[in-house]
Each structure stands twice: as C-alpha cells, then as structure tokens.
Amino acid sequence: MTDTDGSRFSNCLYRVEQVQQGEQKAAEACSMNMTQLMSAAGKAVFHQLQSYFPAPARIAVCCGEGNNGGDGYIVARLAQKAGYQVQVFALKPNVELPEPMESDAHKARAAWREQGGSEKPLLDCSPEQFDVLVDALFGVGLNRALEGDPVSWVQRVNGSTTPVVSVDVPSGLNADTGHVPGAAVRAHLTVCLVALKRGLLTGKAQEHTGELKLEDLGIGSTFKQQNEANWFRVNAGRVGGWLAPRSRCTHKGEQGHVLIVGGQPGMSGAVILAMQSALRAGAGKVSAACHPQVQAIVAAAQPEAMVHGIKETDSLEPLLREASAVALGPGLGQGSWSQEIFSQVMETDVLKVIDADGLNLLASNPVRSPKLLLTPHPGEAARLLQMTTDEIASDRFAAATKLREKYGAQVLLKGAGSLLVTDRGRCLIDRGSPAMASGGMGDLLTGLIAGLLAQRMAPAQALIAGSLWHAIAGEEAGKDGERGTLASDLLPHIRQLVNGYGRDDG
C-alpha cells in the first residue's frame, strides 16, 4: 500500500494478534521491559483522563484480572496521588495475590493496595455517584460475549450519564473485527495503547469507542518498523493529487463519458442522483439509459445530461461503445427488462461500477472480472457471498476480502468504517455522518466513482477517493442538521472536493 497509508503511525491498523506478539519485541528494542510498558500505559491513560477531568473529580476504576485491569490499577494509584477521589471496583475483589507475583497486573494491584487503596465488588459500582468511570475490565484478548456480572455492570454503566474512559478497548467489543457479540461498554473516550486495533474503527464499534486516542507508549515507531500493517486508514491529504489539474486547452471529450444504466418505472430518482453526481465529479459527458416510461422524467431533471429510453437491448449497445465508464444498478430493478439490460452490460469490457439491484443480479449471476467495482452494503454483501447479514457483521474484514477473492473486483463494503479491498491494498474510511442515513446516498456514490473513472483515474483510486469524498461531503452537508439531510445536499460539496477545496488530513 503506497498511496493511502501515508507516513503516520495513526493510519496503520493492526490485528490484535500482531500487537500481542509484537509489543514486547518493540519495547525491548526501546530498552523497556513489560513492567515498564504497563506503567507507561497506565500513565498515558491517566494523562488523557486528567486532560478531560481535573482533580478532585470522583473516579470509579473498574478492573478485571488481566493486563487491562493492571493498567486500571496504575491509573487508580496515579489519580489518588494527584488528589482525585478514587474507588476501585474489581471483578474479583480482595483476592489473595501470589508470592512471588506472577504477572505485572499482580504487581500493579499490589502497589494500589500498598498505597492504601481498597477494592469493592464490581456490582457495587453506581456510576451516577462518580464524575467519570474508567473501564479496565477486559482488554483486546476478549473474543466472546460477556457473561454473568459483567453483563449487569455494562447495562448499569450504559444506562447512566457518567462519562466512561475505556482502556485500550471498550469491554465487550471485539477489537479485531469490530463485532459486538453481546453487552459492550459505550465509552466516551477510548485510549488505544501501542497501536491502533483495526476493529475499533468499523461496524458497531463506532457506537462504542467514542473519541479514539492512540498512545503508542514511546514504542510506536519501532513497532511500525517491526510489524507490517495490512490495513490502513485513508488520509484525505493523500488522495488530493489523484485528479491532475486540467489543461487550459481541454474539452469535454477528454474528460470522459459516463453511462448510467438503470431507472425502471417508479425508480427514476436513483438514476437522476447518479447522473448529477457524475456531472459534479467532473465527467465531460454523462448519459443515462433508462426505461422508456421514465425517460422524460430523467431528462427534465438535468438538461446537461443525455437521456435515452431503452426498450430493447440492441439500442443499448452503441451507448456502451461510447462509454468510458458505466454505473450499473441505480433504480434498475430485478424484472425481465432489468435482467436483459444487466446481461447486455456485463458482456462489455468497459469499467463498471455496480450497486443496488446491479449487485442483486450479480449475486444470481456471478461474474469474476477486474473490470468490476462493487459497492455493496452489508445486506447486498450477504447475498453476493451467500451468507447472512449477521455473518457479514461478525467480521467485516473477512467479508470484504472474500468479495475480492470471489469476484476479482475492486471492493467497497459500505457502512460505518467502510472497508476497501483493491489493487492498491486494503484500507478503511472512518469518515461520514449519521446525516447520510437517507435514501439516494448510494446512488450518489455510484455516480461519483464512475465520474472519476471517466476522468482516467485508476479503478482502485476512483473507488478510494470517491468513497472518501462522498463521506466528507456527507459530513459537510450534515453540519446543517443530521436529520433531514438529502442526498442531493451533498452535490455542492462533491464539486468542491474534486476541485481540491475543503480537503483536510482526516
């Protein structure tokens, strides 16, 4: 991956196993042992907490039995020394510690007790009695649903208004996949330690991590050198140069021709949005091939586009020959007309962005081709892979990779923390807004990607840049209010983004 990872460690995403196996080697290379690393972790979390909640705030620190709990005991000890009012609640309170101490977590717990700190049972914690709660119950090693007392504790924590700071990962969340198999803490702040775990940024995880802060504990640079990341966050600044400045002598013929294929009766709006998006993306010419019954509606919506009513597939062939890129699926439907149109398009060698009913028809008629750019949401991905939506949600990374393997395509798995598996590697886009939860957003994205393809952007680049700019446009449109934002509200922002305005480093 060369174009989207950038040089920042915060853009590198790792599997939990990589961090667990690699942190000791990185620490040793930095002249630190694991006891010192745990101490650094506790200090980092405490300093983050301190920046939000000054002393003498009331702090509840909830500790488990592993290293995550050890971090919590260090936080408690530092906070007490700094003048905070601290109470520790333990999963197994007041247990006898072994002699000699078997782990760094035991040592941290003993140091808390030596300082006069006490431990109360986890379920004695009433979050509303505190100004902030530190969640140090379970760390990244948890890969199953919580059971017993922790479930009741999570329900109590999530039902309160007390802010929660989670250590490394909110308890109950799978940090490798982003899956939430049962009860999980909804943190206001998650302090991720050593390196970013990929699961914190996708799927339901975004409802649980809150604000995400990375603390590399002084070993991040070394860890990056020793461990190869295979997923990356897309940096907005990196994709900005992928559309070259236009020549003063250019003309529409040099800026590509997008053909939007879809629009059965009753679904003309999808074609219109894709058509408008392709135009605002900068395509020189945009045509739409739709059902004859909606031709007049589509043509009236955008005078700059050329609109053709397609009754027989023979009349589609010359349009396909002229196209630089095809957007297949917006409002296409799945009836006999739709199936004939789909088959005709799939026989051509032109680059094709496939969405909506185009994906549903592809699921029934699988084709493997590098000329495809697939943009499914989880439900469509489930149909393409003959899986359930729950199975997709349980490991979005695996699902995106399987789509790439099965169809040989550039793949975008949409949703919070969108995942892309392309010729340029595997990356994640953690941008966007709840304002985008309205109809037509996918049609807009399809047209945008096709518009970038038409301007000779490489397929992987078009998918990555289009997805990112679509997400940022959604954020900008959502600033006027998350409720009531329409897909068409994104169009002015798309125009700005493809022209280099309003970009940031994300």
Q: What is the mean pLDDT of the chain?
A: 95
Q: How does strand 325-328 pair with strand 58-63?
A: unpaired
- The torsion of the CA quartet 408, 410, 414, 416, rounded to 10 degrees, works out to 110
List phi, psi (to 5°) of 351: -65, 135
- In single-letter form, the type of residue at position 175 comes to A
Overall average pLDDT of the 196-223 stretch: 97
Task: Kindly give, in sequence order, each residue whose CB lies less than 8 Å from that of residue 40, ignoring residues fewer than 6 positions away.
Answer: 32, 217, 218
Instruction: Give the pLDDT score at 502.
Output: 63
Question: Would you say 416 is a known binding-site residue?
Answer: yes
Question: Would you say 145 is a known binding-site residue?
Answer: yes
Do 353 and 449 meet the contact criterion of CB atoms below 8 Å apart? Answer: yes
Q: Global pTM?
A: 0.94
| Token pair listed for 423 | 């010729």
Which domains does the chain carry?
A: 9-232 (3.40.50.10260), 255-471 (3.40.1190.20)
Task: Kindly give, in sequence order, each residue whose CB lies less than 8 Å from that of residue 8, ignoring residues fewer than 6 positions away.
Answer: 235
Question: Would you say 118 is a known binding-site residue?
Answer: no
Pick from 239, 254, 245, 249: nearest CA to 454:
254
Question: Would you say 141 is a known binding-site residue?
Answer: yes
Confidence of residue 66 (pLDDT cuts 50, 70, 90): very high
Do 416 and 202 meet the contact criterion of CB atoms below 8 Å apart? Answer: yes
Cis peptide before 56, with omega less than 30 degrees from 0? yes
CA distance 79 to 117: 11
Give yes or no for residue 505 having a pLDDT over 80: no
Question: Would you say 135 is a known binding-site residue?
Answer: yes
Question: Would you say 69 is a known binding-site residue?
Answer: yes
Do 284 and 252 meet the contact criterion of CB atoms below 8 Å apart? Answer: yes
Question: Model confidence over 214-258: pLDDT tens digits?
Answer: 999 999 999 999 999 999 999 888 787 899 889 999 999 999 999
Positions of E strands within 64-188: 85-90, 119-121, 132-136, 164-167
Do 471 and 205 meet the contact criterion of CB atoms below 8 Å apart? Answer: no
Question: Would you say 377 is a known binding-site residue?
Answer: yes
Question: Model confidence over 168-198: pLDDT tens digits?
Answer: 999 999 999 999 999 999 999 999 999 999 9
DSSP-derived secondary structure letter, 484: T
Question: Would you say 396 is a known binding-site residue?
Answer: no
Confidence of residue 5 (pLDDT cuts 50, 70, 90): very low
Tally of CB atoms within 10 A around 30: 16
Question: Would you say 70 is a known binding-site residue?
Answer: yes
Confidence of residue 504 (pLDDT cuts 50, 70, 90): low
Question: Would you say 117 is a known binding-site residue?
Answer: no
Instruction: Give the pLDDT score at 6.
Output: 45
Question: Would you say 171 is a known binding-site residue?
Answer: yes
Give yes or no for residue 25 having a pLDDT over 60: yes
Task: Kindly give, in sequence order, each residue whose CB lies less than 8 Å from that of residue 445, ignoring residues fewer than 6 positions away.
Answer: 277, 355, 375, 414, 466, 467, 470
For 160-215, give the DSSP string: S-S-EEEESS-TT--TTT----S-----SEEEEESSEEGGGGSGGGGGTS-EEEEE
Give yes or no for residue 348 having a pLDDT over 90: yes
Question: Would you say 203 is a known binding-site residue?
Answer: no
Helix and strand element counts for the chain (H, E):
18, 19
Question: Would you say 417 is a known binding-site residue?
Answer: yes
Question: Would you say 178 is a known binding-site residue?
Answer: no
Question: Would you say 415 is a known binding-site residue?
Answer: yes
Give yes or no for residue 1 having a pLDDT over 90: no
- From the number of C-beta atoms within 10 Å of its C-beta (0-12, 13-18, 19+), residue 253 rates as exposed
CA distance 39 to 45: 10
CA distance 12 to 35: 25
Do 84 and 55 meet the contact criterion of CB atoms below 8 Å apart? Answer: yes
Cis peptide before 318, with omega less than 30 degrees from 0? no
Question: Would you say 414 is a known binding-site residue?
Answer: yes
Instruction: Give the pLDDT score at 3.
Output: 37
Question: Would you say 331 is a known binding-site residue?
Answer: yes
